Amino acid sequence: MAEYDLRVAVIGGGTGLSTILRGLKRYPIDITAIVTVADDGGSSGSLRSDFDVPPPGDIRNVLVALSEVEPLVQELFQYRFKGETELAGHPTGNLLIAAMTNITGDFASAVQKLSEVLKVRGTVLPVSNTPLCLCAEYDDGTIIQGESLIPVEDKKIKRVYYTNPDEPALDEAVEAIMEADLVLLGPGSLYTSIIPNLLLKQIADAVVKTEAQCVYCCNIMTQPGETTGMTASDHVRVIEEHVGCHIIDKIIVNDESVDDSTYERYTHQNSDMVVIDEEVLENMNIDVIKSRLVSYNNVGEVRHNTKKVAATIFSLLLDIEEQREG
């Protein structure tokens, strides 16, 4: 089999998606990243409001993660203007994506053109060509509108949904899921990065119908305002409740402690390690893949070890290839 015949579709947003893609791009696989367009905060929210374009921030980070250009070009794309001018807070890449969208008249086309400039290893697709407005309903019945405001309430979330749920998903995103050997959900914010992609009917239907294995990479730490107190099986249950049926075949979970000082800092922020309730997961017909996945970024935040997660995904793909040829 040719080395790029193995296909993975990675669905998500935020820093989690970018972290994993940096590792995956080193393997001989066909990568498609499908990225949420529900963000309404910061620079993304400002450009979305001013120019009626989908939010570019998550897309920007994914483009950089998969790019093969010189580090200086990546640094330029990520450079955030400082000071008190109107440009303050805007990364150069966000401005370029918004500008290219206006030039081409199409957000997905703009992403494709900039992918060529950045020599992206794989394909980057917005889940939709239309900005999507995310809402959350909490257990107490209150409703909040706006992705950036959802975690701020710090209440237990009952469900998330779109005010414009009938907006179409990008056809290429649906095709990538249907043609994949493996669909990877996460890691990332459960209610604001992963589930928003699955709220579009065409994406949910594709994840249900595809013959690909569906793998969920569970977060290492709970997220205040989103997943406080939730176990690994709770994460899975919430995803499948939003889709409406069982979709997850395997779950990748962390089996390593964080260092004491980091753990203490997280607990002060009302965050804890996600409890891996393995027996419950297995009773849900989900294969549990445990590994030591803890890594730290340059400011001491807990992140997935991109090399280990990527190696796990590639191993799963090789198993799929072997089963196919057997």
Question: DSSP assignment of 55-70, as one string?
Answer: --HHHHHHHHHHB-S-
pLDDT at residue number 1: 33
Residues 110 and 182 in one domain: no
Please indicate, yes or no, if residue 135 is contained in any of the structural domains: yes
> The domain spanning residue 269 has which CATH number?
3.40.50.10680
Residue 76 is classified by DSSP as H
Pick out the chain residues at pLDDT < 50. Answer: 1-3
Q: What is the pLDDT of residue 132?
A: 94
Question: Within a domain: residue 2?
Answer: no
Where in the sequence is the domain holding 67, given as residue range(s)?
A: 40-121
Global pTM reads: 0.95
Query: What pLDDT, on the 0 to 100 scale, is given for residue 67?
Result: 96
Find residue 217's DSSP bridge partners.
252
Q: What pLDDT is recorded for position 52?
A: 86
Q: Are residues 67 and 136 in the same domain?
A: no
DSSP H or E stretch at residue 159: strand 157-162
User: What value does the CA radius of gyration of the chain take, rounded to a whole number of Å?
Assistant: 19
What are the counts of helices (DSSP H) followed by strands (DSSP E) for the chain?
Answer: 13, 12
Is residue 114 a contact partner of residue 94, using CB atoms and an 8 Å limit?
no
Query: Is 48 a domain residue?
Result: yes
In a shared domain, residues 204 and 254 = yes
The Cα 128–Cα 38 span in angstroms is 10
For residues 192 and 150, the answer to whether their CB atoms sit within 8 Å is: yes
* Interstrand relation of 157-162 and 134-138 (parallel, antiparallel or unpaired): antiparallel
Measured between alpha carbons, how far is 97 from 129 in angstroms, rounded to an integer?
Answer: 13
Distance CA 211, CA 178 (A): 7
Co-location of 45 and 161 in the same domain: no
Looking at 121, 155, 190, which one is the last position of a domain? 121
- pLDDT at residue 90, as a whole number: 95
Q: From CA 317, how far away is CA 326, in angstroms rounded? A: 14
| CA dist., res. 19 & res. 56, Å (int) | 17
Q: Is residue 266 in some structural domain?
A: yes
45 plus 20 within the same structural domain: no
Domain assignment present for 1: no
Rounded distance, CA 36 to CA 60, Å? 12
Please name the residues in contact with 310: beta carbons below 8 A apart, sequence gap of 6 or more. 20, 23, 24, 26, 27
As a whole number of angstroms, the distance between CA 4 and CA 121 comes to 12
| 165 and 267 part of one domain | yes
pLDDT at 273: 98
Query: Per the structure, how many domains does the chain have?
Result: 2
* In-domain check, residue 95: yes
